[in-house]
Structure 1
Amino acid sequence: MYLCTAVIFAHRLYIGNIPFGITEDLMINFFNDKMQESRLCSAPGYPVLAVQINMDKNFAFVEFRSVEETTNAMAFDGIMLQGQALKIRRPKDYAPIPGLTDSGVKHIPGVVSTVVPDGPHKVFCGGLPTYLSDDQVKELLCSFGDLKSFNLVKDSGTTFSKGYCFFEYVIEGITDAAIQGLNGMQLGDKKLIVQRASVGASKVITGEGADMSMFMPSIPNVPLPINIPGLQVAGTAQEATEVLCLMNMVSKEELEDDEEYEGIMEDVREECSRYGEVVSVEIPRPVGGVDIPGVGKIFVEFGSADQCSKAHSALAGRKFANRVVVTWCAMLCLACLV
């Protein structure tokens, strides 16, 4: 009896955050198409047998024809459907089937999982302005590389952000560089605290990290910001430089449009000239099939480090096209263009 029940739950997945008004047929077609596109089917034909939707509570259960395909479909956690990031989980009553080896969840390019598993590459980011949305935070983090998983922690009662998140990059090797670039970054009136979420070191709160104690106790077992032996992270004070990096201002689509691109270039030059001499403005554009460094960032070179610092302070947290501008003063930015 136990084995029979376990098999039933091993064929089902819970799907949360589904779009309002979506139909069972649409969800069936969506998962069938995605499974086939990603070559996650274990046999010819369609893997989805049925979908049950609970409209009142905004979730659904999807039943697959095999245990293997059910496990494979876990890889779509975080996939976008009609503007909603789906949350895919095992049912609460799920238990591994005795004697059956779990092949593990695969990663699908372009899909950012909503679950960040514990591990050496899990990163903690605190000090986030609570008004930033999931997409805005992800856009900031993605300026250093593609995300494998991301979770902006929210208050269960209000669904508002608690000001911190966990994430992991697809390419593990960029983690240290991203930590150095993000830690101490100014966002409005706040500075980010970014470090690995769990390493074999004593947990010590330093500097701005002391502010995190105000909300950390409300979440059990949440790792506190820590010092990492041998890791040179950026301090809260940034090195003086003539170059200002602006992020979270432009989208790929805007950069591909010639008129939009020229308009953004003119707007940036005009606004930045309020704070000093603008020597140059560089806005890398995407090229099909080519990996262009620095796409999504805007680099402004000023006549002096003092002018750059003034612009950095004035523009941080401002809005451009309904996006919160993130500023970063560092010569490291220029390396992206070389």
Structure 2
Amino acid sequence: RSRSRDGSPAPPPRKPRKVSNWDKDASGNEVNAGQILTGDGTQAPHILNALVHQAASGSTTKARRIHVGNLPSNGPIDNETLGTFFEQAMEQAGFKNPDTEGPCVKDVWISGEKKFAFIEMRTFEEAERSMGLDGVTLYGNPLRIARPHDYVPPPSQEQLQSALLAAGTTGSAAAVQVAAAVAMGKPLGGQVPGAPVGVNKQIADAAMGALGLGGMQSSAAQTQAMMQASRKARRVHVGNLPSAVLVTAQQLHEFVTQGMTQMALTVKPGDPVQDTFVSPDGKFGFVELRTIQEATNIIALSGCEFGGKAIRISRPTDYMPPTLELIQKLEGSGILGFPGDAGVTALAPGMAAGPDLTNATSVVVLKNMMTEAEMGDDQECKEIMDDTRDKCVEEYGAVLSVLAARPGPHECPKEHIGNVFVQFGDKETAIKAAEGLHNLKFDGRVVEASFIDTLAYAGLQKHFPDQLVTG
């Protein structure tokens, strides 16, 4: 049977997999209500925002990332092995920053076939020095170390000052100097803790406060640490990129930004994309979003047409959902992107905030899935459960059972009636599904996803033995 389809401003869609209850527009694209969030109207000009973000995040990822080629095929290679090897090589060569404690290797990514890798260094200067390791041997193989094709050098102090002045902000030269030093990963010193030589403390503090970077370098370092800690929750994999032409990182950036803006998937004004990367063969890429919420919202672009092909957006294999501890640490930082976070105000009418991950279990609750008429029809309920199971298995992972709670002669709590419950094999898969299904539209209704305790779900199964579809 067919159901009504809602319109959507989404770009051209992926090829439909089959007729399903999950809503699609006239072209067959799934309609996602999205997290339509608005700013408070008090944001600084875009160019100033870029400057502030640059200073707060430390050096740019593209300035700190290196390409490592010719990886050996005769030895065990994984992220930890390669990261440890580079850490030791940098230390033995004297390339590590002597004024900074801790590891200089921040992140490692190895290609699926393990022929090349990308390493993100702690500072721009350490990334620059690592070029001197070109030819160092690992398991007898000379490694090829170079800048990636999308390498972007960090801005100079002059460039930052020009940007600030272009934004119409005056009297903040000290803030620009501080921002430039932080962005370039240079150790700061002089008469002011955390400020370059010659900067008046009062002026610098006032300027940094005006930019929302109070606390000088310590604040920037804290923000950089939070961005690093949340990176695996803010990054998505983009597959099936067009093969007719080699897509650049900038083109992918522009496509994602435009698509998210058109589909109202951003949570505050400005560019939602923090960084983009495209593999050398142009087959896949990665997009790092500025907030965790936008990293969930962007999945709604999966299936949209880009260069004549339907791209596939999903969580990377190293995806790590935010823990309760991390969520608490990021509160008020603007990195979560949840309602009430910095720069994020309210949801649009009809929209619900993302699922509460602090209460996550292996069972997902989907609200607004059935009307009263459908709850009274055995065949309708069976089809809804089948559709839900098929979608979850195809897009998220193994499903153990699906249950539709209907009215009847039982003692089921009223708040569960009308909901569909999906039990997954583990909590991590359930979290992915809840984030992906939340605010999708099902037969014109906006779905809300949450979680239920596994023991409570076991009790529901006893009430509905005939309404249980197993995986």
Is the structural similarity TM-score above 0.5? no
Higher strand share: 1
Bigger RCO (CA 8 Å, 6+ sep): 2
TM-score by length of 1: 0.31
Higher helix share: 2
TM-score by length of 2: 0.23
